[in-house]
Structure 1
Amino acid sequence: MSGVARQIDRPRRWLVVLVVAVILFAGAVVAPSTGITRMGPFGLFAWASWLHVFGYAFLSLTLVYALLVSPDGPALSAAIVPIIVVAYGTSLELLQLLIPYRSFAVGDIFADGLGTVVVVGVWTYGQAAFAALGFRGS
């Protein structure tokens, strides 16, 4: 991959992180539909909780990729990603305190944390497993 392609690639990664963050922001400020309180898959949690887990997992995945994948090696530890993502989720929950049709929920913050910890754990373990098998990152 040429140096020019690498320079273009990094801004695209950050653009994807920004788009995902904006989508999560929009989801946090619009009026929720009535179906969001129904139970989701497996009857374990409401759809809203599943959306938090998967939405913030996807944000974490894009952030890990933008921060850690670099031709020069990782710029940061993967441990910083859950801190950033949960702080963003918490700030959106606090913003919802100001919106009459939304509400603050600690359970949503835990769902955000679950999503991000799973992604970072799988990413970290996957990197170590591939390295142990002799694969190099490109």
Structure 2
Amino acid sequence: MEPRRTPEPRRWLVPLVWAGVVLLASVVDPGGGGAASGGSTASSLLASDKLLHGIGYGILAVLAARAVDSRELAAALLVVLTVALFGFGVEVVQWPLPYRAFSLADAAVNALGAVVGVAAWAGYARVLADPSS
């Protein structure tokens, strides 16, 4: 008996909802002074911000790679490119917001999260396909 596949449109529901959550979290006022705040904990906040970017976009990449359900290199690269461009787009949306700031470093971490997420999905899918390896 073949495994039951989720119908095409529903496969994209979770990645699209997660993309919406990421976008919403990226445009709301974070409070506490936003992009202009500083202080003694600035370096720890910066590290946690980059970690959140990497995790958020890594999850988005895993969900999108799962929805594509392809182990081909071209499909994996397309997912990485799409997620990275979404991350760059979110940074552009933040640019005019007074409590947010455009950041190339954030965009780079978003892209890195996309690469790690797709690589993690590819490894997991390979194990699923051949559990003996």
TM-score, normalised to structure 2's length?
A: 0.76
How many residue pairs match? The answer is 125
Work out whether 1:16 is the aligned partner of 2:21: no
Describe the SS at the equivalent of 1:102. coil
Relative to structure 2, which stretch is displaced further, 56-65 or 121-130?
A: 121-130
Matches within 5 A, 1:17-36: 17-34=15-32
Q: What 5-or-longer segments of structure 1 have no aligned partner? A: none
| Aligned CA distance change for structure 1 residues 133 and 23 (closer, same or farther; 3 Å) | closer
Runs (4+) off by over 4 Å? 35-38, 128-135
Work out whether 1:39 is the aligned partner of 2:44: yes
- What percent of counterpart residues are identical? 32
State the partner residue of 1:62.
Answer: 63
| Aligned CA distance change for structure 1 residues 121 and 6 (closer, same or farther; 3 Å) | closer
Q: Distance in 2 between matches of 1:124 and 1:6?
A: 18
From 94, 97, 104, give the equivalent of 2:95: 97
**AA aligned opposite 2:50:** S
The alpha carbon displacement at 1:105 in A equals: 0.4
| Aligned CA distance change for structure 1 residues 68 and 107 (closer, same or farther; 3 Å) | same
From 110, 115, 118, give the equivalent of 1:117: 115
- Contact 2:57–2:117 (8 Å) recurs in 1: no
Q: CA RMSD in A?
A: 2.9
Work out whether 1:6 is the aligned partner of 2:18: no
Q: What 5-or-longer segments of structure 2 have no aligned partner? A: 35-41
Instruction: Render the CA deviation track for 1:76-106: whole Å, top value 9, x for unaligned.
Output: 6211111000100101101111211110001
| Aligned CA distance change for structure 1 residues 35 and 67 (closer, same or farther; 3 Å) | farther
| Aligned CA distance change for structure 1 residues 38 and 31 (closer, same or farther; 3 Å) | farther
- Contact 2:54–2:110 (8 Å) recurs in 1: yes
Describe the SS at the equivalent of 2:102. coil
Q: Distance in 2 between matches of 1:89 and 1:6?
A: 29
TM-score, normalised to structure 1's length?
A: 0.74
